[in-house]
Amino acid sequence: MTDTALAEVFPPGEFIRDELEERGWTQSDLAAIMGRPLTVLNEIITGKRAVTPETATELGAAFGTSAEFWLNLESFYRLSTTNRPEDAIRYRARLYELAPLKDMQKRHWIKECDSETEAHSELLRFFNVASLDDIRNMKIAARATGGIAQDPTPAQYTWCRQSLVLAQTVPAAKYDSTALRAGLEQLRQLAFDREETRKVPRVLSSLGIRFVVVEHLPRSRIDGAALWLDNRSPVVALSMRYDRIDSFWHTLCHELAHVLNEDGQGQLDIELFVKGRIAAGERQAIERRADDAAAAMLINPSDLEGFIRRKKPYYSKQAIIQFANRLGIHPGVIVGQLQYRGEIGYYANREMLVKVRDIVVREALTDGWGHFVAQD
């Protein structure tokens, strides 16, 4: 869209005067033709009263023009007399296009701003950039799930930035992929009991992974992200917007798979879970690989396939619990994988999908749900 500057604009009354002169009519004549009081017509001619759609229709009928002609004259005239702060509005619009300012202020990520200049400065500080143009150039999230590569939305890369800011304060051992692979079993053992999830941040730290929990921003749909500090220190950030044990463990392992595979500088995952099932469909190969690896970290595929062959199509609660005890994993994780495979419905065995968020955030650096880390 291109903007056109208005040339000198005259009020509709000037055109009415011209028409009256052309026809040799007086204002009284026109008032009588339109059936309007002379005082009303005079106010329209002098610009004290606006031309309404009804008046435009009457003028059009009297002068043989369209009603739109008079409405357009009125609109152009009123615009020409209005104080039009287009530059300020465009500037504010740009700020809101770059980041969800109101949500950031509400979460204490930036200060309450009384002016556009202050908001500008706060965004530069938050994103640690020299120019607003540099915000969208940040290498935070290379891909999003769902089968189509896309640029992250402002809410998504803002969430990622806050995750990185928090991660800088999390202590962690020097990262080594070999050590992480060797430590996955130690991590997996925590998936047996929901109370053990509180130890996840501690174990990840010992394996060189900085772990943070950041509540998702409205409309961001983020489940998790695998990010990097200085391309050397991996960060796993979860939103835990689905507070279920199966969602927590699958998303965690999904992001760890991205770290192990070194899938770019950053891997952003949205809508991993839709109505309780992992979003399958047209998934990118890189996401299918992470999904498969996450599932295998938790349950040996051959063990699950054997269980399905033996029990299909009837998966009783007792059978799931016994199978989970044999594998040393929480039954909710079994239920989640059965749902993913389409073996059981979304509403089946919901009582096993216990909540874990309140347990995880006991020891994880957390931003959200009443926890916040104010920016310096």
Task: Give domain status of residue 71, yes or no.
Answer: yes
Please give the share of the chain, as a percent, with pLDDT higher than 90: 64
Does the residue 129 lie in any domain? yes
Residue 374 within a domain: no
The residue type of 139 is K
Shared-domain flag, residues 216 and 278 = yes
Residues 72 and 95 grouped into a single domain: no
Whether 221 is covered by a domain: the verdict is yes
Please check whether residues 234 and 314 belong to one and the same domain: yes
> What is the average pLDDT across 58-81?
87
Residues 309 and 183 in one domain: yes
Residue 372 included in any domain: no
113 with 217, same domain: the answer is no
235 Cβ contact partners less than 8 Å away, ≥ 6 residues apart: 163, 164, 167, 209, 210, 211, 212, 225, 226, 227, 228, 229
Instruction: Say if 290 falls within a structural domain.
Output: yes
Structure tokens that stand for 238 in this block: 């979860």
| 73 and 208 fall within a common domain | no
Tell me the pLDDT tens digit for each residue of 288-324: 888 899 999 999 999 999 999 999 999 999 999 999 9
Residues 115 and 61 grouped into a single domain: no
Tally of domains in the chain: 3
Read off the pTM: 0.76
CA distances from 302 to 37, 181, 299, 341 (A): 91, 20, 8, 14
Mean pLDDT of 198-210: 97
What is the extent of the structural domain holding 282? Answer: 154-367
Alpha-carbon distance of 290 to 10, in angstroms, equals 66
* Same-domain pairing of 252 and 329: yes
Last residue of a domain, one of 35, 55, 80: 80
Burial class of residue 89, CB neighbours in 10 A (0-12, 13-18, 19+): exposed
Q: If DSSP codes are grouped into helix, strand and coil, which group holds residue 238?
A: strand
79-86 LR contacts (CB < 8 Å, sep 24+): 79/6, 79/9, 80/6, 80/9, 86/3
- Work out the pLDDT band at 376, boundaries 50, 70, 90: low
Query: Does residue 52 share a domain with residue 174?
Result: no
Claim to verify: residue 243 and residue 305 sit in the same structural domain: yes
Does the structure show a pLDDT above 70 at 198? yes
To the nearest 10 degrees (0 to 180), the angle between helices 12-23 and 38-45 is 120
**Are 110 and 169 in the same domain?**
no
Please report whether residue 6 resides in a domain.
no
User: How many C-beta atoms lie closer than 10 Å to residue 79's C-beta?
Assistant: 11
CATH of the domain at 63: 1.10.260.40
**Alpha-carbon gap, residue 200 to 211, rounded angstroms:** 9
Is residue 3 domain-resident? no
User: Same structural domain for residues 73 and 103?
Assistant: no
